[in-house]
Amino acid sequence: MRGDNWAGLWYRRYRGAAYVFALGALVWTAAMVLPFAPFSDAPPILVGGGPGVWLLVGYVLFVAVGIGGFGAMTSFLVGVELHEKRSVDSRLMWPATALLVVGFVGSCVLLGVAGAVGGYDSTFQSASAQAIDGVLSPFVYPITSFVLITVIGAALAVVALVRARWPSD
């Protein structure tokens, strides 16, 4: 049986991750609105659409899932760890957390980079649609891989929550 010092361990970690993602979102937001190059290129890339949408999707996902998703997971963990007094299996939560963070950050950052690079070529270099496809296509499989890593991490976290043990188990 774990002592009181273990109570709430995972909810605190996920709350901390939500705070870190909030800070990351602030940095990303500031970078997109700074009035000097290369950051000043972001608003026209977003307005230009096309690949700029990838940048926008990466940003919105980072803000919404990074803060909201990890915050929501914190509330689930608070319910399990503090209100129900059950212990979440750390053998599942460590890999779940690692996979969630790596997959989530990797997919959002790659979406942002692909959108910025492709959007820059589209907006400022007037590149053809074929050339932009050539810029974006190398990002598709890595982004897909990171999304799958995220899904596996989320599935492990759900299993860990469902299998949380009562103190007498």
Half-sphere exposure of 42 (CA within 13 A, CB side): 20
Q: Which pLDDT score is estimated for 169?
A: 54
Half-sphere exposure of 165 (CA within 13 A, CB side): 10
Interatomic CA distance for residues 50 and 36, integer angstroms = 23
Q: Which two tokens stand for residue 160?
A: 């860990």
Per domain, the residue ranges of the chain are 4-162
Q: Which pLDDT score is estimated for 4?
A: 46
Average pLDDT value for residue range 91-102? 95
Lowest mean pLDDT among 33-42, 122-131, 152-161: 33-42
Average pLDDT value for residue range 21-34? 90
> Is-contact 139 78, C-beta < 8 A?
no
Per-residue model confidence as pLDDT tens digits over 37-94: 777 888 888 887 889 899 999 999 999 999 999 999 999 999 998 888 899 988 999 9
Q: Which pLDDT score is estimated for 1?
A: 41
